[in-house]
Structure formats: structure tokens, C-alpha cells
Structure 1
Amino acid sequence: MSQPVMVAVLGAGAGARMGGGKLDRDLGGRPLGAWALATAQSLGAMVCFISDGRRPGWVGPDVEVVHNPHAASGMASSLRLAVDRAQGCDAARLLIMLADMPFVEAATLRMLLDRTAEDRVSACRYPDGRLGPPACFGAGRMASLAALTGDVGARHLLNQPGFALALSIDAAELQDIDTPEDLRLARLRAASRMAGMPPSGH
């Protein structure tokens, strides 16, 4: 990549609907959170993991862990930390990923990066038509993320008219894991994927 890119994997949420410890739960023989992190690292960019105050054992030494002491206040605090790291590294683009979305493909992330110039934002289009993460912010648009407060995520910005370019991808990539039932379905999908079979329906 010709210009510095920061990939921030957000993993500071409490995972309350899973009873805590969500990202450590097994998915296809490895921790749930390790899936998104491995995809982020495959891009060859700088990667930081926004954490709730600990360094999970599945986060390798080549990943910067940024502790969020205000994680309980909502996702905006993690986004502000991601922007701070990106700006501190003079990154031209900041790619935001969620650690509980294991099936996002590296090709999707590269398309987001390719579509994002300094003053542009690109995001994924969900089945309901709304935009959401993963999303990529050019350097000139990062300040809008840093201005968010409370439990307001990037979707608040991405769905403002004309704010972001939409990337339509396979909805199966956008599965996030919030509940035990979500994890059960994800395990079926991971098993099918590793067996070389079509993924199970949701």
C-alpha cells in the first residue's frame, strides 16, 4: 500500500448478551475475535486492536493493543481512540472493523480501501439498505468520527445523506455475533466453510 493505512479492530464491548467473554468463544477451532484480526493483518497494514483493558492471548505481539478505559460509555470512545492512533501514525485512511464480525473477506476490505480517498468515506451496504461497518475513512473525514460521543457508532454518520459511498457485498459476510444463537449459526457456517461446502442458511 503506497500510503499508510491503519486498520482498527474494535473489541472493547462487554458482550453482555453472550454473558461476557464473547470474543474468546470458540468458532471453528479458534477464538471468535481472532477471525477479524487475522483478516485485518492479511492486508499488510498497521493494525490496532481496541480492547476493554486486557490483551487477549490470541492477539499477537505484532498488533498494537489500545486499552479503552471508557469502554462502558459506548462505541464512540473506541472510535475516538482509533482516530487518535491513525492520526498519530499519519495514516491516509482508517479502516474500521468490528471484532465480532468473523466472516468479512479481505477482498471486501481492499475494495473499501480502494474506493476511499482523503476526503471520502466508504462503507458496506446491509440487507436493509443501511450502511455500516466495515467502513473506511479518508484522513480528511476522520474528525467526524472523533466528534462522536456516548453509545453512538459510525452508522450514525454513514447513513447521513451523501456521507459515504456504498459497497454492496454478500450479506453473509456481515453476520455479527451478539447472542448464543448467533454463535451457533456462525459455528455451522464455519464448519461448512472449512469442509468446502456451501454455508448454511441463517
Structure 2
Amino acid sequence: MARLEEYGAVVLAAGFSRRLPGENKLLKAYRGRPLLANVLEAVANLGLGDVVVVTGDDREGVAVLAQGAGLRRVENADAASGMGSSIAAGARALREGLAGVFVVLGDMPEVTAEDYARLATAHEQRPARICVPVWDGRRGHPVLFGAGYLADLAALTGDVGARGILRKAADVVSVPAASAGVLVDLDTEADFAAPSPDGPAENDRDASGD
């Protein structure tokens, strides 16, 4: 059984909801509560060794949700520059000694505890690796990075995300996901009305970390 207490997570909640103008999608109602609340509750219940919620746009609303879930947060003052800077802010804030870190997207509420457990189990078999969930031949999120990649994550900038790390990594393993939730992200009104799996093909390596 995976020892999730040895792992940490960076939850990305600093986006600008550019495909849902006029509101922060992470605060939009989904299943009767803010979208992000679903993600934070799932992560909080995993029993991880450390979790950081990265805020940016509408940080006050996100901060309330993080506090409600019992999770600490860090503000990314450079959130407008893109996802890479948010991953870096979160990675720098994590405590030392973790076996690895999940990079979690705040708009993916259907990822299950078993999805996380499968990634951790695969990682424990070879701790230097990066583990990417795959469902129906498509890569999804969260991505689990071994501790050896923390410095690279902490050095990210701009909007490239972790694609460059994945592209150069020698040991990336595709892990069969427990659910289609690893492909379900909510960006538009249509997504909120009828969430459906989406994601890059399994062999589209560049897209797996962003």
C-alpha cells in the first residue's frame, strides 16, 4: 500500500480563468460548492506529508477555501506570467524530506484517492521516476515528480509549466489510472454543465506536464 504521508502536493489555484471570462472558475459552483473546494477536500483527505495551495488571482476567495480545508497557501506574486511560476512558488514552499510531489490542477475535481495511490505505488518501485496517469491511452493529471526533480520544479518560470522537465527526463512512467477523472478539467460553461474526459494522447509527451 502506498505511503502517501511521504509525499507532498502543490495545488495550482492561481489561474486567471481566461476561458470563463467574468469570474474565477475555481470559485464557481460545482456539485453545490466552489469547484476548488472539491479538489482541496480530496487532497486534504489523502494524508500527505505536506500540501501547498498556490494563490494568485482572487487570492482572498481561494485563501478562504484553503483555510477551510486545513491547508496552507503561498501567494505567487508573478501569477500573471503563467503556470511555471506557480509550480515554482509551490515547490519552494514545500518542507524538505519528501519522497516526491504531486502537481495538482485546481480545476480537476474528479481525480480519486485511488488515482493518487496508484501513482505513489508506481513511484515507490523506482523513486527517481516521474509518474503520469493514463486513461484510455491519454495522459492526464496529477503528475508525480520524484524528489530529485524538486529543484527543477522550483526553478520554473513563465507559462511553460513542467513540460520541459518531462521532455528531458530519462525516467517517465505511464501509470494506468483508476478513473477518467485524471482527464476531466473544467474550463468553460459547457464543461461545468457536462464534464467529460479530455487530454493529450499518451505519446504526446510534451503536453503531459502543463
**Cα drift, residue 126 of structure 1:** 5.6
Cα displacement (A) at 1:161: 6.8
Residue identity in the other structure for 1:83: A
8 Å Cα contact 1:3/1:92 also seen in 2: no
2:187 is aligned with 1:178:
yes
1:156 positional shift: 3.8
| Match for residue 72 of structure 2 among 64, 67, 85 | 64
Which digits, 9 at most, give the CA deviation of each residue in 1:81-120, with x for residues without a partner? 121122x333221111101001000100111112224411
Deviations 1:14-45 (A, max 9, x none): 11211231111111111101111111111111
Out of 94, 97, 101, which is 1:90 matched to? 97
TM-score between the two structures when normalised by the length of structure 1: 0.81
- Give per-residue Cα distances to partners, 1:143-189, cap 9 Å, x unaligned: 23233321011234335574411112243442101111111113x99
Per the alignment, do residues 55 and 93 of structure 1 end up closer, same or farther by CA in structure 2, a change over 3 Å counting?
farther
Contact 2:4 2:46 in 1 (8 A): no
Q: 3-state SS of the aligned residue for 1:50?
A: strand
The separation in 1 between residues aligned to 2:191 and 2:141, in whole angstroms, is 18
* Distance in 1 of aligned mates of 2:83 and 2:33: 25
Distance 1:40 1:2, change over 3 A: closer
Distance 1:55 1:91 in 2: 29
1:28 aligns with 2:36: no
Deviations 1:33-85 (A, max 9, x none): 11111111111112211111435232226200111111000000111112112
Q: 1:157 to 1:171 in 2, by over 3 A?
A: farther
Q: How far apart, in 1, do the equivalents of 2:123 and 2:190 lie?
A: 35
* 1:41 has 2:41 as partner: no
Q: Which residue of 1 aligns with 2:206?
A: none
For residues 121 and 62 of structure 1, what CA distance do their matches in structure 2 show? 27
Measured in 1, the distance between the counterparts of 2:191 and 2:167 equals: 25
1:79 maps to: 87
The residue identity in structure 2 corresponding to 1:176 is D
Aligned length: 186
Percent of pairs identical after alignment? 32
Supply the RMSD in Å over aligned alpha carbons.
2.4
User: Matches of 2:4 and 2:120 in 1, distance apart?
Assistant: 12
Aligned equivalent of 2:205: none
Residues of 2 paired with 1:33 and 1:40: CA distance? 11
Counterpart residue number, 2:207 = none
The 1-side partners of 2:180 and 2:11 are apart by: 20
Q: Structure 2: which 5+ residue stretches go unaligned?
A: 198-210
TM-score (norm 2): 0.78
Does 2:128 align with 1:119? yes
The reply to whether residue 142 of structure 1 matches residue 150 of structure 2 is: yes
Any stretches of 5+ residues in structure 1 without a counterpart?
190-202
Q: What is the alpha-carbon distance in structure 2 between the residues aligned to residue 113 and residue 61 of structure 1?
A: 22
Separation in structure 2 between the aligned mates of residue 85 and residue 41 of structure 1, nearest angstrom: 17
Question: Residue 116 of structure 2 is aligned with which of 109, 112, 115?
Answer: 109
Query: Which residue identity is paired with 2:188?
Result: T
